[in-house]
Amino acid sequence: MRDGRGRRERREKIEKKGKKGKIERGKGEKGKEEREEWWHAIANDIIRRKGMRNLIVATGITPSGAIHIGNLRETLIADAVCNALRENGAEASLIYIADTYDPLRRLYPFLPPDYKEHVGKPLSDIPDPDGCHSSYSEHFLQPFLAATDKLGISMKVFRADEMYKRGMYEDAIRLAIKERERIMRIIAEVTGRDLQRDWYPFMPVCKNCGRMNATDVLKCDLKRGECVYRCNACGYEGVASLKNGGKLTWRVDWAARWKILNVAVEPFGKDHASAGGSYETGKRISEEIYGYEAPYPIPFEHVLLKVGGKVEAMSSSKGTNISVDEILTVVPPEVLKFIMLRVKPMKHIEFDPSMGLLNLIDEYEREIAPIGRGVAAEIPFRHFITLVQVARGDINNLLKIIRRSGFALARDEEQMKTEIAEIQKKARYAENWLRKFAQPDVKFEIKDSLPELARSLSQKQKEALKMLSEEIKKRKLSAEDYHNKIYEVAENLGISAKEVFRAVYIALLGRDSGPRAGWLLASLQREFLVKRFEDAAKD
């Protein structure tokens, strides 16, 4: 019987931190030390440079498609650093800016053909493709915000369309237009790109067709607070208010936002941090035009998606991603935070939702998770994948299998209810993983009768199954016992252990491979195993 004592003894060294964004860790191991220390090192440096007062940490994304776990990395970095600042006594808060006023750049593969007419319009002005939210932008933003709630991230949310329409950018727009020639010089000096002399840092929304990506400003009247524009998409010419009739171009918008929201710290992808990139441009515009010190930068590497040996960057627009709300159906919030925060920001993450994810879940449960969570926490997630398939979705079956595998549920009635609830929760995660991300060779079913493939077993393999059945009759075996017996039988018969494993899988699953044999055998009834192996051993 397993009481988890060995695991608890290992876990006595774990230093538990209760703050959001923290990862609880064991001491003395380099990888775990790095997991805790990087955000504290960043927080200490921020305090040295920015002081302790009013440290606003900003994060955000353009909701042009499903907001994926690569986007989440930025938000979790911001949250972890913000919490570390607070722990050091600083006055810090987290804000999230959704770029809902950005234009739809093209017809993405996941959109219906008739959405071509919406290309160039602000995301907040485009209808939800599924009709379940108030706009295109809310369709993708709302599931992400719900996921951040599950992750325990507390942040104030700003929507760019609301900020512009309320006139929060008006002063910044006026100043940018007034100083447009200086901004043009900054952009040319930083990027090496010369803008046309009639360029304006403002994109009016066409009053006729609703697009903002095809409008050219012809002239501006700062006294009247308006500009005359021509739309190259529909040919319309009109007048737009500088207060709420359009938005700043990207690099100017970012710099203006820092001052408007008093941003002190911001993580962003490494591409923005490159020489001549958005941050370098924004920093100069912020400091030279708006007179505002640029935020402390936290560049980070991308999260890459690894599927079937192929690694590629995640993209909302291309649909090559895993959304945050989807991954939270497979792993608990604390595990997802562990995966995203376990390495320093400038190290890329290769996210393998298949077997790689199982390894990370097991690592978290083995070394990081709080103790005292009962049987569900004692059973490795990888083994749970086997158990739920043997149980075939029946919770009562699953509980019997867990007991049969050597795990004891609590005797106290209330504690037992809690343990069963945790088992059900973990079983749902395992079932969702099997449905969404498991490779075909991981899925199996116990055959109700002897598989036809059993006829192909060699005489030695049949003898091995007969010997195993005799051992099973003698006493109850643990997973480790089964594993050792297979090697012992193979040695006695002078064949490879691989041949015995193959015979076991064929007799039970009708194929020559499967999950870890010891765990599989320990989860099945002894009487069933004896009969099945004896049937398979018959000539």
Q: What is the DSSP string of 168-199?
A: TTHHHHHHHHHTHHHHHHHHHHHH--PPPTT-
- Percent pLDDT > 90 in the chain is 82
56 part of a folded domain = yes
**Domain shared by 465 and 325, yes or no:** no
CATH of the domain at 521: 1.10.10.350
The dihedral sign for the CA sequence 158, 164, 169, 175: positive
Amino acid, single-letter form, for residue 257: R
The size of the chain, in residues, is 539
**Domain shared by 23 and 142, yes or no:** yes
Is 241 in contact with 225 (CB distance < 8 Å)?
yes
479 part of a folded domain = yes
- Among residues 288, 266, 269, the alpha carbon closest in space to that of 277 is found at 269
315 CB-near residues (< 8 Å, 6+ apart): 65, 321
**Domain shared by 330 and 466, yes or no:** no
**Domain shared by 347 and 481, yes or no:** no
Owning domain of residue 480: 452-537
pLDDT tier at 299 (50, 70, 90 boundaries)? very high
Question: Residue 12 above 80 pLDDT?
Answer: no
pLDDT for 225-251, tens place per residue? 999 999 999 999 999 999 999 999 999
Question: Residue 71 above 50 pLDDT?
Answer: yes
Count CB neighbours of 536 within 10 A. Answer: 24
If you search the block for the tokens 């039970």, which residue do you land on? Answer: 508
pLDDT tier at 378 (50, 70, 90 boundaries)? confident
**Domain shared by 471 and 338, yes or no:** no
**Structural domain total, the chain:** 2
- Among residues 288, 161, 177, the alpha carbon closest in space to that of 223 is found at 177
- Among residues 124, 126, 125, 106, the alpha carbon closest in space to that of 116 is found at 106
**Domain shared by 489 and 344, yes or no:** no
- C-alpha 283/C-alpha 279 separation (Å) is 6
Question: Residue 58 above 90 pLDDT?
Answer: yes
pLDDT for 311-345, tens place per residue? 888 877 676 789 999 999 999 999 999 999 999 99
362 part of a folded domain = no
419 part of a folded domain = no
- Percent pLDDT > 70 in the chain is 92
Does 84 or 413 have the greater pLDDT score?
84
In the numeric block, which tokens belong to residue 77? 């970095």
pLDDT attached to residue 315: 79
Question: Residue 309 above 60 pLDDT?
Answer: yes
527 part of a folded domain = yes
Is 25 in contact with 33 (CB distance < 8 Å)?
yes
Compute the average pLDDT of residues 78-87.
98
pLDDT attached to residue 393: 86
Which of 318, 353, 388 delimits the end of a domain? 353
pLDDT attached to residue 319: 66
**Domain shared by 342 and 471, yes or no:** no
Question: Residue 114 above 50 pLDDT?
Answer: yes
485 part of a folded domain = yes
Question: Residue 3 above 60 pLDDT?
Answer: no
238 part of a folded domain = no
pLDDT attached to residue 175: 98
**Domain shared by 349 and 476, yes or no:** no
**Domain shared by 163 and 286, yes or no:** yes
225 part of a folded domain = no
- Beta-strand relationship, 92-98 and 55-61: parallel
pLDDT attached to residue 272: 92
Q: Which of 34-43, 60-69, 176-185, 225-234 has the lowest mean pLDDT?
A: 34-43
306 CB-near residues (< 8 Å, 6+ apart): 350, 351, 352, 356
Which of 329, 353, 377 delimits the end of a domain? 353
Q: What are the Cα distances from residue 503, in Å, to 461, 468, 489?
A: 6, 11, 12
In the numeric block, which tokens belong to residue 240? 């737009």
- Beta-strand relationship, 237-241 and 226-231: antiparallel
- C-alpha 530/C-alpha 521 separation (Å) is 11
pLDDT attached to residue 37: 81
Which of 299, 318, 353 delimits the end of a domain? 353
pLDDT attached to residue 311: 87
Phi, psi angle pair for 24, to nearest 5°: -75, 140
Q: Which of 103-112, 226-235, 409-418, 525-534 has the lowest mean pLDDT?
A: 409-418
Phi, psi angle pair for 56, to nearest 5°: -90, 120
CATH of the domain at 59: 3.40.50.620
- Among residues 290, 300, 93, the alpha carbon closest in space to that of 182 is found at 290
